[in-house]
Amino acid sequence: MRAAARSGLVAAATALVGVVAAAPPGDGTWTAAPAAGRPYAYLEGPAGSVLQDSLSVTNPGGRPLTVRLAGEGAPVAFAARTVTVPARTRADVPFAVTVTADTPPGDHRGTVRATAAGRELSVDLLLRVSGPRLAALTVEDVRVDEATGALRYTLVNRGTTVLAPTLAVRAEGLLGTVLDRPERALPLTLRPGERAARTEPWPDPPALDSVTVRLTARAPGAPDATARAEAAFVELPALGGAAAPLLAAAGAGAWAVRRRGRAAGSRTGAGPRTRTPQASTGATT
C-alpha cells in the first residue's frame, strides 16, 4: 500500500505542470493554502497507512515563482520539495503523510510550510488516526523534599488520547491532617506517551512531624491515579543544652513507631498485643 501511494505521488509530480490552472486576480502576492479552499489540511486513517492530500500554490505575478516546501510535526513527503509555478497560474502540489504502525489513535497536528521570494507561509495539518481510544493517567516518582517541603512528582499519559489532568493533595500527620488542597486543573495537557515532571510547593510544612502525602490526579475518561510518599520533618529550634537532641530523638522515635505499627498491621492485620502482668511473690518483714 505504501509503495503504491509513493508511485502515485511521483506520477502526480511528473504531471504537475499539466494540472496548473489560471490564477484568480489578486494583488500580485503568491499564496499557499489547502486544496479546495479548506481552512486547514485534514487527513484521517488507521495506523500503518499512507494518506494523501495536496497544497495549492497560486502565483498571480508576471514571472515564474520557485517555491520550497517542507513539513513539520508530521512525516510529510512531497511529490517535489521545490516547485516552479508559472506566471498567473495555480499549482496543486500532492503530498503524503505516512502513519506508522505505532502511532496512537487520536488527533495529531503538524504544519506544511511554503517559502518563496523571502516569504514563508504555514498551513495547519490535522491528522486523525482511527482506532480504539483509551484514557489512562499515572502519578509516578512522588517524593517530598524534607528541606523545603516541596512535593515532586511526574504525570504520565499511558493512553491514546490527549489528557487535561487535575490534581488534589492531602497530607496526614501524627495528629491529623496537615495539608488539604482540593482538586484543581493543572496548566498543561499531555499527549499520548508524554511525561511531565512537576513540583507542588508547600511553603509551611510542619516543623516536627511524620507525614504521609497522597496525590490524586484525574482526567476525563481515565481512572483516578493516586500515589503517596512519606516524610519526617524535624526542624530544630534554637535551644541550648540537651533540648535540641531530645526533640530530634522524639521526632525520629515517633516516626519509627508509626512505621513499625504500619508494618505490623500489614503482616498480621491485628492491633498490638498486650501482655498480662503476672503476680509477683516475695516475703516482707
Express each pLDDT in 141-163 by its tens digit: 999 998 889 999 999 999 888 89
Q: Is 211 helix (H, G, I), strand (E, B) or coil?
A: strand
* pLDDT for position 182: 97
Q: Three-class SS of residue 280?
A: coil
pLDDT at 221: 92
> In the predicted model, is pLDDT for residue 18 greater than 70?
no
The candidate with the shortest Cα–Cα distance to 232, out of 203, 201, 256, is 256
Topology (CATH level 3) of domain 2-130: Immunoglobulin-like (2.60.40)
Calculated CA dihedral for residues 237, 241, 245, 246, nearest 10 degrees:
-90
CA distances 189 to 143, 155, 161, 201, 275, Å, are 22, 10, 10, 20, 57
Give the whole-angstrom CA distance, residue 47 versus residue 100.
6
Tens-place pLDDT, residues 53-79: 999 999 999 999 999 999 998 889 998
Residues 6 or more apart whose Cβ sits within 8 Å of residue 30: 57, 58, 59, 60, 61, 65, 67, 85, 116, 117, 119
Residue 20 has what pLDDT? 54
Which part of the chain has CATH 2.60.40.10? 2-130, 137-237
Mapped onto helix, strand or coil, the DSSP state of residue 64 is: coil
Per the CB < 8 A criterion, the answer to whether 65 and 30 are in contact is yes
Question: Is residue 99 within 8 Å of 45, Cβ to Cβ?
Answer: yes
Residues 6+ apart with CB under 8 A from 42: 34, 53, 125, 126, 128
pLDDT score of 6: 44
For residue 183, which of 171, 166, 199 has the smallest C-alpha distance?
A: 166
CA-based end-to-end distance of the chain: 108
DSSP assigned state of 145: -
pTM, full prediction: 0.51
CATH number of 137-237: 2.60.40.10
Per residue in 1-13, pLDDT tens? 444 444 444 333 3
